[in-house]
């Protein structure tokens, strides 16, 4: 799906707000695109930036003029992109940005645009440097900032930008779109729990990290069905050796959380989202006690991954706590 289609269909408020502002010549100098993990924030930021620069906007980027094509190739000098998903954005990066924008625009249009993807991944000194820049934007300077976690963005940044908040898409629709795109149902069902975008679900489902995490999850669940001892043994012998990095651990724990959320749903009202796991969930329900407490333990383990933590110990701890809660 093209980003323009995505905006029009799933984010109509953002679409209308931006189109109206553009038509009325009332664009803000700084936008903050706020959404959740996996949403196409960077892609939308780039598309909106392109819409300002496009030679033949209709009224958004045409995607086929020379300027649109040059931007796609990363070959347009007056558009700078800093990507917080590739590592922390430092003060030097912001100085590089402000330095190049002190000079006049290089391109004929005379418009300078910068994108900062995931502002929450800026160092405090980088944020300070950025704030000064946001306070005194040049007449033809536009900024598109993005965040997957608005609560981690300083209020001083939020107050200097116009916030465009992304709407969550219905989970069943994400599952359907992912499956139409070729993703297995079981992968689509579980990944849609924490990626609110079919394209992201598809990309993640194809990564080696996901395949490892998924195998570890299946091994762990099967062992839980056998006995507490099997569960602990499998964790040490199969899960810990394969879940080697923080990224794989994060995926694995998030998936485990989805299983326990559905287990809780099943015990309360009989409804489940992970239909491919129907049999396993029903059997687990007869084996695992204190589902709500186990879910809390899993979710708090996820938070502890953000601080430097020993991953093998953390994985062991989760299974120890789940099985300790009196397997039936």
Chain contacts with Zn ion (rule: CB under 5 A): 54, 62, 65, 68
What is the closest distance, in whole angstroms, from the C-beta atom of residue 10 to Zn ion in the complex?
22
What is the closest distance, in whole angstroms, from the C-beta atom of residue 111 to Zn ion in the complex?
14
Cα 225 from Cα 222, distance rounded (Å): 5
What is the closest distance, in whole angstroms, from the C-beta atom of residue 65 to Zn ion in the complex?
3
Helix axes 246-269, 278-287, angle to 10 degrees: 80
Question: Of the two residues 37 and 66, which places its CB atom closer to Zn ion in the complex?
Answer: 66
What is the closest distance, in whole angstroms, from the C-beta atom of residue 53 to Zn ion in the complex?
8
Question: Of the two residues 65 and 181, which places its CB atom closer to Zn ion in the complex?
Answer: 65
Question: Of the two residues 56 and 170, which places its CB atom closer to Zn ion in the complex?
Answer: 56
Question: Of the two residues 65 and 225, which places its CB atom closer to Zn ion in the complex?
Answer: 65
Question: Of the two residues 21 and 62, which places its CB atom closer to Zn ion in the complex?
Answer: 62
Is the CB of residue 171 less than 8 Å from the CB of residue 38? Answer: no
> Residue 66, exposed/middle/buried by CB under 10 A (0-12, 13-18, 19+)?
exposed
Question: Of the two residues 68 and 198, which places its CB atom closer to Zn ion in the complex?
Answer: 68
Structural tokens at position 297 = 């333990």
What is the closest distance, in whole angstroms, from the C-beta atom of residue 57 to Zn ion in the complex?
7
Q: How many Cβ atoms are within 10 Å of 275's Cβ, its own excluded? A: 12
Structural tokens at position 237 = 């012998």
What is the closest distance, in whole angstroms, from the C-beta atom of residue 69 to Zn ion in the complex?
8
The residues pairing with 81 across neighbouring beta strands, listed in sequence order, are 115
What is the closest distance, in whole angstroms, from the C-beta atom of residue 79 to Zn ion in the complex?
13
Cα 204 from Cα 202, distance rounded (Å): 6
Per-residue CA distances from 137 to 105, 114, 131, 183, 279 (Å):
14, 11, 10, 44, 58
Q: Pairing relation of β-strands 79-83 and 30-34?
A: unpaired
Question: Of the two residues 66 and 226, which places its CB atom closer to Zn ion in the complex?
Answer: 66
Q: Pairing relation of β-strands 79-83 and 162-165?
A: unpaired
Residue 162 is given by DSSP the state: E
Cα 125 from Cα 187, distance rounded (Å): 40
The residues pairing with 80 across neighbouring beta strands, listed in sequence order, are 114
């Amino acid at each position: 799906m093209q980003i323009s289609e995505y905006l029009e269909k799933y984010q109509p408020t953002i679409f209308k707000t931006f189109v109206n502002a553009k038509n009325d010549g009332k664009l803000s100098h700084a936008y903050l695109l706020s959404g959740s993990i996996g949403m196409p924030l960077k892609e939308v930021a780039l598309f909106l930036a392109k819409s300002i620069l496009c030679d033949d906007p209709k009224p958004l980027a045409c995607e086929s003029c020379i300027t649109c094509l040059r931007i796609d190739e990363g070959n347009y000098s007056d558009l700078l992109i800093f990507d917080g998903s590739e590592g922390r954005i430092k003060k030097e990066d912001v100085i590089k940005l402000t330095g190049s924008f002190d000079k006049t625009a290089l391109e004929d249009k005379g418009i300078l645009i910068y994108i900062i993807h995931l502002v929450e991944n800026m160092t405090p000194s980088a944020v300070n440097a950025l704030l000064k820049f946001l306070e005194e934007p040049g007449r033809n300077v536009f900024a598109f900032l993005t965040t997957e976690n608005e609560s981690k963005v300083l209020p001083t940044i939020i107050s200097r930008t116009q916030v465009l908040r992304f709407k969550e898409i219905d989970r069943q629709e994400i599952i359907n779109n992912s499956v139409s795109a070729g993703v297995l149902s079981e992968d689509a069902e579980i990944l849609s729990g924490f990626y609110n975008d079919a394209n992201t679900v598809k990309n993640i489902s194809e990564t080696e990290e996901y395949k490892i995490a998924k195998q570890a999850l299946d091994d762990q669940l099967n062992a839980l069905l056998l006995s507490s001892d099997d569960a602990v043994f499998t964790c040490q012998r199969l899960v810990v050796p394969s879940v080697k990095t923080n990224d794989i651990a994060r995926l694995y724990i998030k998936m485990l959380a989805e299983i326990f959320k559905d287990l809780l749903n099943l015990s309360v009202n009989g409804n489940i989202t992970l239909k491919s796991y129907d049999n396993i969930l029903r059997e687990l329900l007869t084996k695992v006690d204190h589902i709500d407490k186990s879910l809390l333990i899993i979710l708090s383990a996820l938070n502890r991954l953000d601080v430097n933590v020993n991953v093998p110990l953390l994985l062991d701890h989760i299974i120890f706590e789940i099985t300790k809660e009196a397997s039936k």
